[in-house]
């Protein structure tokens, strides 16, 4: 499987993973507390700078975000249909800023680092007896692993459509994508259980 991590030596690469992940949570919380367009525009500029500082070529960095940005644009357009333009623009700025910073963090933090931080943060919750910190960390790691894989499969299905002379439509793309993703999820879950990695709560 591919990884979202990008080798580099930027300031974000050198920064410890814990403050980066904490900053991501704080930014997400702060973005949804404000609907001030000026503040959201500033947040967008800052996150654009953070994402560009990772050091990826423009074409690669744009290609990474294209599927997510199309989804955000669809959500903003849907919001515009039923709400004032101000609400739609706020939604667009919020989600785009969050997407850019999340992309910057995932590009400069390995999956192992993510899992270690999330597991450490979730460790106190084990006292409740409801969750296992290791399971939460594993779940986060699997999600991060699956994101680039799903995008790759989406492009592969689109290329298969084009090779057969079929018109690419979301309805014909999503069904095989969902089937393949669920199949992979079942295989990974079986492998995890066979190795005794996942510990179920009794």
CA dist 118 and 134 (Å) reads 9
Angle at 62 between CA 30 and CA 40, to 5 degrees: 20
- The predicted pLDDT at position 60 comes to 84
- The predicted pLDDT at position 38 comes to 94
- The predicted pLDDT at position 112 comes to 85
- The predicted pLDDT at position 185 comes to 64
- The predicted pLDDT at position 187 comes to 66
Alpha-carbon Rg for the chain, nearest whole angstrom, is: 19
If 0-12 CB within 10 Å is exposed, 13-18 middle and 19+ buried, where does residue 176 land? middle
Residue 72: its H or E element: helix 58-82
- The predicted pLDDT at position 200 comes to 46
pLDDT tens digit at each of 202 positions of the chain: 456 788 888 899 999 889 999 999 999 999 989 889 999 999 999 999 999 999 888 888 888 887 788 788 888 898 999 889 999 999 999 999 999 999 999 899 888 888 888 888 888 877 777 767 777 777 777 666 666 677 777 777 777 877 877 776 666 777 777 777 777 666 666 655 665 555 544 3
Q: Indicate if the alpha-carbon torsion angle 80, 83, 85, 87 is positive or negative.
A: negative
CA dist 67 and 74 (Å) reads 11
pTM for the whole thing? 0.71
Residue 45: its H or E element: helix 37-52
- The predicted pLDDT at position 96 comes to 94
- The predicted pLDDT at position 118 comes to 84
Query: Is the Cβ–Cβ distance between 123 and 71 less than 8 Å?
Result: no
- Lookup: tokens for 183: 């199949």
- The predicted pLDDT at position 165 comes to 77
Question: Where do the domains of the chain lie?
Answer: 1-109, 112-202
- The predicted pLDDT at position 190 comes to 64
Of 122, 152, 150, 147, the C-alpha closest to 135 is 122
- The predicted pLDDT at position 47 comes to 95
């Amino acid at each position: 499987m591919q990884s979202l991590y990008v080798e580099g030596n930027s300031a974000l690469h050198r920064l410890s993973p814990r403050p980066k992940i904490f900053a991501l949570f704080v930014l997400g919380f702060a973005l949804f507390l404000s609907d001030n367009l000026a503040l959201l525009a500033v947040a967008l500029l800052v996150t654009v700078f953070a994402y560009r500082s990772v050091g990826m070529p423009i074409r690669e960095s744009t290609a990474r975000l294209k599927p997510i940005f199309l989804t955000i644009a669809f959500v903003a357009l849907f919001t515009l249909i039923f709400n004032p333009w101000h609400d739609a623009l706020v939604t667009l700025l919020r989600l785009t800023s969050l997407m850019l910073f999340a992309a910057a963090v995932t590009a400069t933090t390995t999956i192992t680092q993510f899992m270690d931080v999330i597991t450490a943060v979730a460790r106190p919750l084990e006292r409740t007896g409801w969750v296992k910190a290791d399971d939460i960390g594993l779940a986060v790691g699997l999600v991060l692993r699956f994101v680039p894989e799903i995008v790759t499969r989406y492009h592969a299905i689109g290329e298969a459509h084009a090779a057969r002379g079929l018109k690419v439509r979301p309805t014909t793309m999503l069904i095989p994508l969902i089937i393949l993703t669920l199949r992979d999820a079942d295989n990974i879950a079986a492998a995890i259980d066979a190795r005794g990695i996942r510990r179920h709560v009794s």
